[in-house]
Amino acid sequence: MEKERLEWLKQVEDWLLTEEAQCGQDALVERERLFVALKTLNYEWDYLLDAYGSASEVPVLLLKLTSDNPEVRERAILTLYTTVFHQGMRTLSAVYVVSFLFYLLLSEKVHSKEEIIDYLVRLAIGYPEESLPEGVDPAAMRQAADDAEQGMTREQRGAYLYEYYSLRVEVQCYQEVFRQLDILMPLTHDPDPKIRKSAIFALAWFPEQAEQSLIHILDQLESETEDAAVANAILAAGLLIFQAGLSPELLKLEKYRGEAFGPLVRMAVAIVQGRFSLNRESIDLLLASLCEADQLNQFHREDIQFYDGWFVSYVIEILTCGTVDSQKEVVLSLCDRIGTYQKIESSSVRYAILDLLNQVQDDVYSENINLLVACGFPEQKADLFKLN
């Protein structure tokens, strides 16, 4: 193992020196980054943990991300997903991984940068869908870590940090990614559309840097012509604006409601509008977008970052996250669209709507709910409802 480690460090050093020789006008800045990266890589990984014990293999996986062979890169990133990031939990080794991953984003020799960006998002916040539709609250994350360590001695806190999982590690990972957002921002304008979309998606989770990130996202939004890219940018900007408490007018949604854009863009507009104000108008827009997705058989789109492509789930989350009054408005809107929604085939959508209807039942609405069960969702079992 030690021989392999030394050989690996020599390969890394040779690789970094090659990069340094090609760094051009920014030589001094690049040399400083190289020094930091190399220092990070020389950390005593044997003393760090991943999900299965010693993190001594992590540096080897990081180097494999620089390979020209896509199969080597894919195996490396998949292994990092099961070790450093494991079932949504981050180990202390993740904090040290972050800096080197950002260094890779700066290198012209590295391929598949969108996968590295997506991995950085998960190191920062865990599974993104678990933070929707509210987004993240960095202050609450830090407070939760403080509360977990309250009453611990210094030695206990140190030991806790090196455990398999701790809230403090989550905070540190988030802060490490946040600290280097200036590297991600220019990538929102990258020629590669995959890298652009991943960079825009990543910036959406850092409300403390919202105003600067929005400059890049909204500027790129003006240049996008492909519907999935436009939708992804609208969702990212909308989430960032919502988390930061800024005005939704910054997004100028009315521009994207016309026929010039397809159902993906209309769905994104409906999601953002519904998140800020779940009224009858926004509810109708959300339900109409569900209908469009059903007719076009577009319940899943790999080119949408949010909800891992199951963007219809985002619509359902918005519909169900409001007050009781807004949920009753959803019921009334569904009643108005019974004929349309007989066609919905997605079981996840059906059961989410049924669950919503069950939540808002009362004497006044029971008749409408029964009507929906009878006409709109005839194959569902009556025992899914507990009507008075």
Show the tokens assigned to 378. 């005839």
pLDDT recorded at residue 325: 75
pLDDT grade for 336, boundaries at 50, 70 and 90: low
pLDDT recorded at residue 334: 66
pLDDT grade for 386, boundaries at 50, 70 and 90: very low
Pick 88 or 298 by higher pLDDT: 88
pLDDT tens digits, 255-266: 898 778 888 898
Rounded to the nearest 5°, which phi and psi values hold at 185?
-55, -50
pLDDT recorded at residue 168: 84
pLDDT at residue 151 is higher than 70: yes
Yes or no: say if 50 and 60 are a contact pair by the CB < 8 Å rule.
Answer: no
pLDDT recorded at residue 321: 80
pLDDT tens digits, 28-56: 454 455 445 545 555 566 667 676 777 77
pLDDT recorded at residue 381: 41
pLDDT recorded at residue 378: 46
What does pLDDT average to over the chain?
A: 78
Over range 171-189, report the average pLDDT. Answer: 95
pLDDT tens digits, 53-85: 777 778 778 878 888 889 989 999 999 998 888
pLDDT grade for 217, boundaries at 50, 70 and 90: very high
pLDDT recorded at residue 74: 94
Pick 186 or 351 by higher pLDDT: 186
Mode of pairing for the β-strands spanning 89-90 and 49-50: unpaired
Minimum mean pLDDT range among 129-133, 213-217, 377-381:
377-381
Which residues 6+ apart lie within 8 Å of 163 measured at CB? 49
Pick 149 or 171 by higher pLDDT: 171
Pick 351 or 243 by higher pLDDT: 243
Pick 22 or 172 by higher pLDDT: 172
Pick 364 or 137 by higher pLDDT: 137
CA distance 275 to 236: 13
Residue 86 pairs in a beta bridge with 89
Rounded to the nearest 5°, which phi and psi values hold at 89?
-100, 145
Pick 15 or 150 by higher pLDDT: 150
pLDDT at residue 383 is higher than 50: no
Minimum mean pLDDT range among 133-137, 272-276, 294-298:
294-298
pLDDT at residue 127 is higher than 60: yes
Yes or no: say if 256 and 235 are a contact pair by the CB < 8 Å rule.
Answer: no
pLDDT at residue 123 is higher than 50: yes
Rounded to the nearest 5°, which phi and psi values hold at 53?
125, -135
Over range 243-252, report the average pLDDT. Answer: 93
pLDDT at residue 27 is higher than 60: no
Yes or no: say if 366 and 343 are a contact pair by the CB < 8 Å rule.
Answer: no
Over range 115-133, report the average pLDDT. Answer: 94
- In the chain, the DSSP E strands lie at 49-50, 53-54, 85-86, 89-90
Minimum mean pLDDT range among 15-19, 226-230, 243-247:
15-19
Residue with structure tokens 């099961």?
Answer: 82
